[in-house]
Amino acid sequence: MRTHPTLLIVVTTVLIPVLGCQTGEPRSGSVKNTEASSTLAVDHDARMGWWRDARFGLFIHWGLYAIPAGEWQGNTNHTEWIKHTAQIPHDQYDRLVSQFNPVKFDADHWVRSARAAGMKYIVITSKHHDGFCLFDSNYTDYDIMSTPFQRDIMKELAEASRRHGLRICWYHSIMDWYHPDYLPRRPWEQRSAEGANLDRYRTHLKNQVRELLTNYGPVGVMWFDGEWEDTWTHEHGQDLFHFVRGIDPRVIINNRVDKGRGGMAGLTTDERFAGDFGTPEQEIPATGLPGVDWETCMTMNDHWGYNRFDDSWKSAENLIRKLADIASKGGNFLLNVGPTASGEFPPPCIERLRAIGEWMDVNGEAIYGTQASPFASLPWGRCTQKRLDSGTTRLYLHVFDWPEDGCLLVPGIRNDPRWAALLSDTDCNPLPVARDDDALVIHLPEYAPDPINSVVILDIVGTPEVTQH
């Protein structure tokens, strides 16, 4: 972190205790987990600390569906839902198990790509809705060990993540189209629901969650999904939440464990529902939600799983600005890659991860460990902030549109400025700052250091006092 060359401030990073998600520990009707084994008590803010600092993670959707790669009987718009959207009978879909052999899978390469992009955690589909497990489970043969590959992908990815300093996290679907006890059945399938027992399925689900939490070393997040069907109840969600807490209270749990997601908006402040953070999907909350931890998950093109026909890739500029936008609203960005059946990231993903990483190499300080902007909006870009010490707040001004007159107007801020500079300027040359009524004006060089997002540091006295315009 850079400081003014003449300022003798000893910069200490003070974690601003941002309130956890209002739906943190469920307060009413919570089902105490009798199976809790851990006695470790973990403060919510302590649990969330690394996650709030991280701000940026990699989502990976991978499984049998990578083999058809979006196409089935001429329709090319399928993806990880292909078994359902193409109504593939179980026996036909399960033939994919004998075909899954990602011989080019290299966990270190995947993790290094994520780290180079500036990502701090990885969330991978241990099991998606189709029920196929990418890990070696004692509770099913419908897993990676039944394929020609016969290697535990979760194990290799967990070990590689720890080698390279990233947190490994598990996506795990509650909805399971394979397990005979999961209900409801798909409307198109012939399999009878006779004898299906959802409580027996819940035991199976918890057994596999326990495997994921105890067989692969420390886990950052349990990222549940597929919670929306009526058979999965609020009580089931509370029970699963406490079950995970009981195994390891350090593990963060998303709000899709319970019924409080609220659709694609993914955010609810209804305190009845369990979950440590909200999960907006394919969208960024217009103003974030002050006091709530949340993470937007998003695809790079239009599909989560690999679809070899989908070329509607978001540009690196779009993704870099989305990262700044999300951080400026106090959220995390979980950006998805759908690897191919051979175990490789599609080249457009590699290109975008590399471009994001080049920006993060210079500007990561303006993302990691920052808090939401004190401004409701800014005409030229976004703002993130960090408390440097009791007397100084650092504002990171993410300038998307470089002012032609060289004057960057920061509106409605009553604080006195201490210093301003380009984050990219390793010589820390101060920039002139002048007050113009209730605005501060920073005089910028003629050319923007970065065509996508140039970050200007503005250190101010105290905590921001802003009059919203």
Q: How far apart are CA 273 and CA 19, in angstroms?
A: 16
Among 51, 58, 80, 384, binds ligand FHN (CB under 6 A): 80
Q: Which is nearer to ligand FHN, 80 or 136 (CB)?
A: 80
- Three-class SS of residue 379? coil
Q: Which residues of 398-437 are buried (b: 16+ CB within 10 A; e: fewer)?
A: bbbebbeeeebebbbbebebbbbbbbeeeeeeebebeeee
Distances 446 to 37, 404, 443 between C-alpha atoms, Å: 61, 8, 9
Q: Does 62 bind ligand FHN (CB under 6 A)?
A: no
Q: Which is nearer to ligand FHN, 264 or 461 (CB)?
A: 264
Residue written as token pair 């067989």: 215
Q: Min. distance of Cβ 297 from ligand FHN in angstroms?
A: 5
Q: Which is nearer to ligand FHN, 80 or 459 (CB)?
A: 80
Q: How far apart are CA 428 and CA 93, in angstroms?
A: 59
Q: Which helix (H) or strand (E) holds 172?
A: strand 167-173
Q: Which is nearer to ligand FHN, 349 or 466 (CB)?
A: 349
Number of residues in contact with ligand FHN under rule CB under 6 A = 6
Q: Min. distance of Cβ 82 from ligand FHN in angstroms?
A: 10
Q: Does 132 bind ligand FHN (CB under 6 A)?
A: no
Q: Does 281 bind ligand FHN (CB under 6 A)?
A: yes
Q: Min. distance of Cβ 256 from ligand FHN in angstroms?
A: 8
Under a CB-based contact definition with an 8 Å cutoff, are residues 376 and 102 in contact?
Answer: no
**CA 197 remoteness from chain centre:** 33
Q: Does 295 bind ligand FHN (CB under 6 A)?
A: no
Q: Which is nearer to ligand FHN, 171 or 419 (CB)?
A: 171
Residue whose C-alpha is closest to residue 282's, from 333, 346, 338, 206: 333
* Sites for ligand FHN among residues 301-320 (CB under 6 A): 304
Q: Min. distance of Cβ 281 from ligand FHN in angstroms?
A: 5
Among 69, 168, 289, 297, binds ligand FHN (CB under 6 A): 297
Q: Min. distance of Cβ 305 from ligand FHN in angstroms?
A: 7
Q: Min. distance of Cβ 262 from ligand FHN in angstroms?
A: 12
Q: Does 225 bind ligand FHN (CB under 6 A)?
A: yes
User: Would you say how long the chain is, in residues?
Assistant: 469
Residue whose C-alpha is closest to residue 226's, from 185, 278, 174: 174
Strand order in the sheet with 433-436: 407-410, 439-443, 433-436
* Residues making contact with ligand FHN (CB under 6 A): 80-81, 225, 281, 297, 304
